[in-house]
Amino acid sequence: MLESSQDEELSILTKYIQKGWPENKNNIPDIVDSYHKLRGELSVDQKLVFFNDRLIIPTFLRLDFIKQLHEGHLGMRKMKQLARRLYYWPQMDNDIDEFVRKCFTCQTYHNNNIKERLSPHDIPRWSFGKLGFDIMDFRSKSYLVFYDFHQ
């Protein structure tokens, strides 16, 4: 991870966390203004900036983090849940929303994961008497999975 000092936003933030925030809120640059209300929960550890226990991602790496979180096309809700556990930056939810809305794959298949009702079936008497198949995605690869209802 590149250190926070390479990012203007986090450099200013680090300075304020370590040396104190300006007395007058009007003296706070716009780039870090959104952090002012969180100032009591911000910390610096080994040149990395944290909001509580969540790493604040430098501006220049945010898109890379969103792409990595989005690899499995989990959808907005699951992506946000995962991101909120580990990371923080202002407008993170909006950035994720915008990225997913622009994802062709997600928009194409968004409503295709509607769950169908389970229907009972007879268990065949012998192997290969009834086969099923499904498509599974794992680590950005698709697999066709066959299974035998006998077993």
* pLDDT for position 94: 96
Residue bearing tokens 């933030």: 13
| Other beta carbons within 10 Å of 114 | 5
Our count of domains for the chain comes to 1
Q: What is the pLDDT along the chain (151 residues), one digit of tens a residue?
A: 455 668 999 999 999 999 999 999 999 999 999 999 999 999 999 989 999 999 999 999 999 999 998 988 787 888 999 999 999 999 999 999 999 989 888 877 765 555 667 777 777 777 877 777 788 887 888 888 877 776 6
Tell me whether residue 13 is in a domain: yes
Domain that holds residue 35: 1-56
Q: How buried is 13 (Cβ within 10 angstroms: 0-12 exposed, 13-18 middle, 19+ buried)?
A: buried
Task: Provide CB contacts within 8 A for 95, sequence distance 6+.
Answer: 62, 66, 89
Structural domain contains residue 114? no
**Does residue 33 sit within a domain?**
yes
Q: What is the pLDDT of residue 11?
A: 94
Q: How many Cβ atoms sit within 10 Å of the Cβ of residue 46?
A: 7
Q: Is residue 6 part of a domain?
A: yes
| Residue 15 in domain | yes
What Rg value do the Cα atoms of the chain yield, rounded?
23
| Residue 136 within a domain | no
80 in a domain, yes or no?
no
For residue 84, being part of any structural domain is answered with no
Estimate the crossing angle of helix 92-101 against helix 76-86, to 10 degrees: 150
